[in-house]
Copies of this chain bind each other. A is one copy, B any other.
Amino acid sequence: MADTLTQTQKALLTLRQRVLSGAISGGTRLYEVALAEELAISRTPIRAALSRLAEEGLLERGRGGGFVVRSFALADVVDTIDLRGVLEGTAARYAAERGISLEQLERSRATLREIDRVLATQDIDMEAYSTLNTAFHLQLALMSQSATLQRELARITALPFASPSAFLEDHDRREALQRTLAVAQAQHIAILDAIAGREAGRAEALAREHARAARRNVEFLLSDEGVQREGVPSLALVRD
């Protein structure tokens, strides 16, 4: 059967979920034997899963073997979001410098039109926005025409707090959210416009600034005025 999950895949899904949800806190060492017993899976697939989680950047290899859950301070979160901005800025610059096909341009414009449609409604469908937003950022990576850049962006973006659509779920105040999304969409449009107009420097600067909004969001959430961090899935693995 093709839909049967291997033991490695089961372990991978379970452990990834546990780490991302914060069920296992940063710095915790993961012992193969303990996990094997608990998940009723032998050590071999557990090791394979741990190894892949290390590839994803969720675990670190400890000295003398073993794996430890990676621990992220606020500074790490901010730096990682900024780094996404730098990489997306580079992607935008490449897209502008190298030029993109009419098909690519039209596809991205269509995505932005759909986002406009979602934002026009009174009660915004956040899941739809999130999907479309992620799609636009993915298209931006593709427009760079650099496999290297796509790869590194995918790596960074795999961290939940560095994803382009992080921190969208938890806005308690509707009007603040609508304003934020309107600004973000204006930046999307400007980035694509700069790329279409071959304005490389402008495209890069805009994409950097776009990520900066996410950074402000985090800083607000983790400030005293922010909501409880408990309710924010993207921040589950961030330590105090």
Chain A residues packing against B (C-beta within 8 Å): 44, 47-48, 51-52, 54-55, 75-76, 79-80, 83, 86-87, 90, 146-149, 152, 156
A76 lies within 8 A of B148 (CB):
yes
Number of chain copies forming the complex: 2
* Closest beta carbon of chain B to A98's beta carbon, Å: 11
Instruction: Collect the chain B residues with CB atoms within 8 Å of residue A156's CB.
Output: 152
- Which single residue of chain B is at the shortest CB-CB distance from A60? B151
- Which single residue of chain B is at the shortest CB-CB distance from A93? B86
Instruction: Collect the chain B residues with CB atoms within 8 Å of residue A47's CB.
Output: 48
- Which single residue of chain B is at the shortest CB-CB distance from A51? B51
* Closest beta carbon of chain B to A162's beta carbon, Å: 9
A48 CA to B79 CA in the complex, in Å? 31
A48 CA to B66 CA in the complex, in Å? 13
A147 CA to B87 CA in the complex, in Å? 16
B152 lies within 8 A of A76 (CB):
no
- Which single residue of chain B is at the shortest CB-CB distance from A57? B151
* Closest beta carbon of chain B to A2's beta carbon, Å: 10
Instruction: Collect the chain B residues with CB atoms within 8 Å of residue A48's CB.
Output: 47, 51
A87 CA to B149 CA in the complex, in Å? 12
Instruction: Collect the chain B residues with CB atoms within 8 Å of residue A147's CB.
Output: 75-76, 79
B83 lies within 8 A of A86 (CB):
no
